[in-house]
Structure 1
């Protein structure tokens, strides 16, 4: 059964890759923003709802650019507008502070209906079905695989500090410099690298001693700390600023370099 699902996944990725290459060669045009998507964004993406009208327009444009550059495919279910919106929003939110950002290391996002295991199998009843998302490597390079349920759940509670879509896109941003190591060199000024790592290790130690409200997963390694702390930053920035001012300040400088706190 595992081989069957692996074969299906390979076919999906191959088809997505071919379609992606064709659309890239044709220089796919950016489609106009569908009018009904505004309400869907207001109802489902708190980050968008809190923006000014002019910034919402910019967010809409960024979503459509993202969707013109990244192919979204579903496995075993029909893709809905909200699925596309939440994937695109997950990608746009972490880089919204930049006037222009293109995910050069991503061609396809593949949505599974539910969580899956490390072998990318989702239709099982085992206890190992715990993976909510991952950035592909090896033959899955330039692919991201997300649990649809986890993607939607991430946007349902804006204050729970958990958003799988944003988490995985932060990994992708981290990986732009060639290594997923928790040091986002494209975002972090070189002079800040050592202070950043020192702070990360102190915060990881606090997490592992149960002395922090940053999710336990952030204590796994530097890359997971960056992704988990970033979820917190975008989901509940006021709380992060109050409880972890140094982390907040550093992440703010990374994600919104042209602003001042």
Structure 2
């Protein structure tokens, strides 16, 4: 009798598991309606969200919540607040909002440091100049970010930078297997060479000190893409005014008209 009962119990569990996997709507029920607190925080803290219409706000909030349910956020010698989590979730969704099925399979945890850190992730010493990093090797599928810069970048409505968006753009870039400034999943092949030519032109202007783009963008193609994307999402009107060709290229890459 006991073996029969065990067999029946195991069979019941397997049937339920199969039903659960075939009914994704049941698993995602928590994100069907954006919680009021989440929507309120987005409205108060995220300028990008404020510009959306009601339907898009609901969709954005749902996707932020879905991201927060999928990715672990860990404070390292600091307390991560609900606002911090919402800012990170918003930073994740902003670049890929036009792509409703996009997720971040190359990210499972975000480590939040109080402030900047160095290459060895030390939080003390004079070499602490890093505000954000997408990990590799032992830290593959991890992101490390400065809590101070995360908060300040969203408070500053006149700046052209956003550390968290910068790091998520690196993940978008990396989604094709290479972090090289050419997100091939978003750029059709005929447009790759024109995009690279535009990068080289803009980097040359930076090196000649004839550009208002963050000089860090001249480091390599990947950093240019991330820096230019920060500018696109933070100050789209100014980018379109000063760099219309770059604005148009990024608008097509992200399938978003920001200005």
Normalised to the residue count of structure 1, the TM-score between the two structures is 0.85
8 Å CA contact retained: 1:31, 1:68: no
Structure 2 residue aligned with 1:40:
41
For residues 44-65 of structure 1, the C-alpha deviation after alignment (integer angstroms, 9 at most, x for no partner) is 1000011111111011111011
Shift of 1:31: 3.1
For residues 141-170 of structure 1, the C-alpha deviation after alignment (integer angstroms, 9 at most, x for no partner) is 000000111111111112311100000000
4+ residue runs over 6 A deviation: none
Distance in 1 (CA, whole Å) between partners of 2:95 and 2:115 is: 24
For residues 160-209 of structure 1, the C-alpha deviation after alignment (integer angstroms, 9 at most, x for no partner) is 11100000000011011111101111111111000000010000000111
Aligned length: 233
Structure 1 residue aligned with 2:8:
none
8 Å CA contact retained: 1:106, 1:144: yes
1:178 paired to 2:141:
no
Shift of 1:88: 0.4
Partner of 1:205: helix, strand, or coil?
helix
8 Å CA contact retained: 1:97, 1:255: yes
- RMSD across aligned positions (CA): 1.8
Structure 2: runs of 5 or more not aligned: 1-23
Structure 2 residue aligned with 1:200:
199
Distance in 1 (CA, whole Å) between partners of 2:235 and 2:61 is: 22
Greater relative CO, 1 or 2 (CA 8 Å, sep 6+): 1
Structure 1 residue aligned with 2:15:
none
8 Å CA contact retained: 1:29, 1:68: no
Instruction: Report matched runs for 1:1-261 at 5 Å.
Output: 29=28, 31-32=30-31, 33-122=34-123, 124=124, 126-256=125-255
